[in-house]
Amino acid sequence: MNRSALEEVAHTLGARGKGILAADESTPTISKRLAAVGVESSPEINNAYRDVLLTAPGLERSISGVIFFEETLRQATIGRAVPYPDHLKALGIIPGIKVDKGAKMLAGSSREKVTEGLDGLRERFATYNELGARFAKWRAVIAIEGDAIPSRNALQVNAHALARYAALAQEAGLVPICEPEVLMDGTHSIARAFEVTEAAIKSVYLALHEQGVLLEGTVLKPNMVMSGYDGSEKAGTDEVAAKTLECLKRCVPAAVPSIVFLSGGQTEIEATTHLNRINEMKDAACPWNLSFSFGRALQQTALSTWAGDSSRIPDAQRALLHRARCSGLATTGEYSESVEAGGATAS
């Protein structure tokens, strides 16, 4: 493990003005996203769609890294057949890889999940390193249901798996992004989301410490602290930003260089507005880069614009570049309604 290389990547992924494009939808998830715009997923179609995203001209202006699903890590640009990791590296964008095998039902529970994928991970990491990946992602899924869920056990087993993954990633020279995602589905209050997010992140840092993970060479990918989507009372932008920062200050050591938020089903504008307010409100007690690792909040409009029609590629790319630019500006608190209204033409 080369400590300074890990630190450099972990810092660069969240560097001012930039963030991560999460384009690592698993086969079932990309099938669902494509079906929603009337396109049937296959390795070739997935390649064509990812090509629209990854060859958008000027992507590197606001994107520091891209997370691939393994299929894409092994694919190449449609035009010149350049392997995607090489294509990104030439642009100064860092290639990454989702390595978990998804969340499965936790034994003994009918409602909680634990993420799988540790078996054989050391060998897979060696291959991913050879293919050019420099960072990795593992997502744990924490649901909120009443006062009893998540259970202490679900938090602990997910944190333990995240730490085992993180230690293996660093051993192989890749920066681990640790993603303990507290879902926003449900009717819970923002206070309950705060309590669960705090418990989830604290469990992760305890496990990372116990398993000897170098925090300076890691990135945290958390949810923003928000009310449940189906609740009657929705916290506004200021409260989401304030609670998110308060929670992170309680849980995340200063040694961590970058925190990159997932969008988790927020609209594109909602996710960008929240990130912008978070960066406006952060203070000296927030030493980390506060950036994004959005999937849907970068891709939604691009995907529906493309919808399998190659004549729409330039428009789809403009839509992606606009979202990337807006999100990049939100990392410095410079996003605004007028930037948003500039639309795809401004990028």
Smaller CB separation from ligand 13P, 125 or 138: 138
Does position 179 interact with ligand 13P (CB under 6 A)? The reply is yes
Does position 295 interact with ligand 13P (CB under 6 A)? The reply is yes
Does position 172 interact with ligand 13P (CB under 6 A)? The reply is no
Cα–Cα dist 191/311, whole Å: 47
In the complex, least distance from residue 41 CB atom to ligand 13P, rounded to whole angstroms:
17
For residues 12-41, which are near ligand 13P according to CB under 6 A? 22
In the complex, least distance from residue 182 CB atom to ligand 13P, rounded to whole angstroms:
12
Does position 139 interact with ligand 13P (CB under 6 A)? The reply is yes
For residues 256-275, which are near ligand 13P according to CB under 6 A? 262-264
Does position 177 interact with ligand 13P (CB under 6 A)? The reply is no
Does position 100 interact with ligand 13P (CB under 6 A)? The reply is no
Where in the sequence numbering do the catalytic residues fall? 179, 221
Does position 319 interact with ligand 13P (CB under 6 A)? The reply is no
C-beta of residue 103 within 8 angstroms of C-beta of residue 141 = yes
In the complex, least distance from residue 35 CB atom to ligand 13P, rounded to whole angstroms:
16
Does position 300 interact with ligand 13P (CB under 6 A)? The reply is no
Interface residue list for ligand 13P (CB under 6 A): 22, 139, 179, 262-264, 293-297
